[in-house]
Amino acid sequence: MQPGALEGLKVLDLGRVLSAPFCAAMLGDMGADVVKIEQPEKGDDSRGFMPRKDDVSTYFINFNRSKRGITLDLKKGKEVFLELIKNVDVVVENFRPGVMKKLGLDYAELKKVNPRLIYAAISGFGQTGPYAHRAGYDTMAQAMSGIMSVTGFPGSEPTRCGASVADIMGGLQAVIGILAALRYREKTGEGQMVDISLVDVSVVGLSSVNQVYLTSGRVPLRNGNSYESSAPGGGYHTKDGYFIMNGSAPKFWGILCNAMKKPELLEDPRFATNALRVTHKKELDAIVTAWTKTMTTDEIINLLLPLGFAVAPVMTIDQVVADPHIGGVRQMFGEVNHPQIGKIRVTNQAVKMSATNPEIRRSSPLLGEHNKDVYQGELGLSEERLADMRRDGII
């Protein structure tokens, strides 16, 4: 196993379900020593999530690999938590704003114990503003950021993306903020708080669409797989499937007309310029689709790729996993060896590094698996103290 870029970094993960656990798992894959803290007996809600294998949640395994795990009731075990805080670099949590303050464990209090602490909080709407204390989940973020307003086909209902993209983007932005805060701490010795809102990160994800409105005042609407600014392009049916094509550069219009054996389209006044082709996109797409339906997806891609077009098949998940580039050379699917269910495949990290490549360093922890390692081995608590803490429901 390669050394990790973040080796020596100590992280406490208070996260639940997705955004914060994903952030902490990424830090763990990069070599940080991540300790996940869960409620005694119950644990993270996602331990009950589907999919499952032998009654173990592989959802939980995916987002909690590369971590050790302990249990701790933050209300009953506040003093123990503060002892842990003294020796960590980063805390990650995704409670609703105000929860940690009620416990007396918010950043303002924790930095008194450890001024070098970097505290990353991920929430639906962020730590400030009139919506801060609202419950905010991925779907809410997709709704209020505008993502759902532009996802789907014209005339369809607002549609969420098929995956929890706001949660994943939130975790990624939290990692970026943490790494920037670490760099600042190197220079100043001071920690800081990183405030991530799922709505904010979703707004950033819409940057190119936002710019249409910010520039022209026109509100973008659902446009299916078509492009706002160029035609032809977007999604087209084939004999056996569907593919995406981008031929936005002006030269590709002539190349496509010749490939379709329809040179007369070059003289058609409806399609004389890109602007006119966008205006008459419905008629143009009907012509292109009539041609693409005469070939299989592989045939049309093999025809257009050598001509310089950017084209791609619309792939199902099984095809993505089996793809020789994505699942093969790029190694986007890794494996963990879970103590209860054995080997299980999970999604890998997208970051590739030449010297310190992120990799899965251990499976997700069993509930409280590392209580003894952390409380006895690192805090020096006695066996008797641990027994008392278990009896009192602290761990």
**What are the residue numbers of the active site?**
167
- Residue 305 has what DSSP assignment? G
Beta carbons of 178 and 90 less than 8 angstroms apart: yes
Cα–Cα nearest to 347, from 320, 309, 307, 375: 320
Question: CA 158, CA 143: separation in Å to the nearest integer?
Answer: 8
Residue 202, C-beta contacts closer than 8 angstroms, at least 6 positions apart? 141, 142, 144, 145, 146, 147, 165, 166, 169
Question: CA 118, CA 279: separation in Å to the nearest integer?
Answer: 51
Beta carbons of 198 and 122 less than 8 angstroms apart: yes
Beta carbons of 181 and 118 less than 8 angstroms apart: yes
Cα dist from 382 to 81, 236, 368, whole Å: 16, 67, 17
Phi then psi for 210, rounded to 5 degrees?
-55, -35
3-state SS assignment for residue 299:
helix
Question: CA 317, CA 138: separation in Å to the nearest integer?
Answer: 21
- Give me the amino acid identity at 214: L
Q: Is 241 exposed, middle or buried (0-12, 13-18, 19+ CB in 10 A)?
A: middle
CB count, 10 Å around CB of 208?
10
Beta carbons of 11 and 92 less than 8 angstroms apart: yes
- Give me the amino acid identity at 93: E
